[in-house]
Amino acid sequence: MSATPDTPELARMKQQLVAAEEQARRLSAELEKFSYSVSHDLRAPLRAINGFSQALLEDYGSTLPPDGQSLLARVRESATRMGRMIDDLLVLSRLGRKQLDIGPVDLASIAQVIAQEQRQADPGRAVDVVVRSLPTAVGDAGLLRQVLLNLVANAFKFTRRQAHPQVEIGSRADDGGREAVYYVRDNG
C-alpha cells in the first residue's frame, strides 16, 4: 500500500469537507438556540393561562355553574396538553440532531421498563400490560425507546376511562415473514 500525495483537487475537497462540518456545527447550535427560544416563548403564555385559571378556580370555582366549571377544567387540561406537546417537540428536535447509533435493540426489555415507568407514574391505576415475545429490532435504541414510550403513554392515557384497562405490546410477521411489525394495542 502506498501513500499518495495530496493533489490540488484532494486538498480542495478536504477544505470543502472542513467548511461543511463547521457549517453543520453552526447550524446545529443555531437550531438548539431556536428550540430553546421557542420553548421559552411558548411556555410563558401557558404559565399565565395556568396561573390565572388556577386563581379563578380557587377564588370563584365554588360559585361557577357546572358548565363554567367544565369549561375551566377544559382550559386547564388544554394548557397541560400544550405543555406536553412543547416538551415532545423539544425531545424530537434533540433526537433529530443526534448521531444515529444503529444496532440490535431488545424491544421486549425496553417495553417492560416503559410499562413499569407508566405504572409508577400513576400508582392508583391497575393497568394490565402484556408484553409478548418480541424479535430483536435493528435501529437506534434511543429513538426506538422514544417511539415505544409515546405509544405506551398514549395507550395508558386512552384507557383511563376503562374499568379494566389493557395494553398489549407485541409483533407480527409481515411480507411473507421477512419483516416484523411491532404494535401497541389498548382497549381505550
Distances (CA, A) of 127 to 13, 131, 138: 58, 13, 29
Q: State residue 3's pLDDT score.
A: 53
pLDDT of 2: 47
CA distance 118 to 186: 14
The pLDDT value recorded for residue 41 is 83
**pTM, 2 dp:** 0.56
Q: What is the pLDDT of residue 131?
A: 94
- What pLDDT is attached to residue 83? 87
The topology (CATH level 3) of 8-96 is Helix Hairpins (1.10.287)
Write out the chain's pLDDT in tens, 188 residues.
Answer: 445 567 888 888 888 888 888 887 787 778 777 877 777 788 888 889 989 999 998 898 889 999 988 888 889 888 888 888 888 777 777 766 667 788 999 999 999 999 999 998 888 889 999 999 999 999 989 889 989 998 999 999 999 999 999 999 999 988 887 888 999 999 98
Q: Is 111:131 a contact under the CB 8 Å cutoff?
A: yes
- Calpha distance 143→105 (Å, rounded): 11
Fold of the CATH domain 102-186: Heat Shock Protein 90 (3.30.565)
Q: What angle do the packed helices 66-96 and 8-60 form, to 10 degrees?
A: 160
Query: Are the CB atoms for 130 and 167 separated by under 8 Å?
Result: yes
Q: Quote the CA–CA distance of 138 and 134 in Å, as a whole number.
A: 12
> What separation, in Å, do the N-terminal and C-terminal C-alpha atoms of the chain show?
65
- Read off the C-alpha cell for 149: 414510550
Pinpoint the residues of the chain covered by CATH 3.30.565.10.
Answer: 102-186
Closest listed residue to residue 61, CA positions, set 79, 45, 52, 83: 52
CATH 1.10.287 in the chain, residues? 8-96
Nearest to 187 by CA among 171, 174, 168: 168
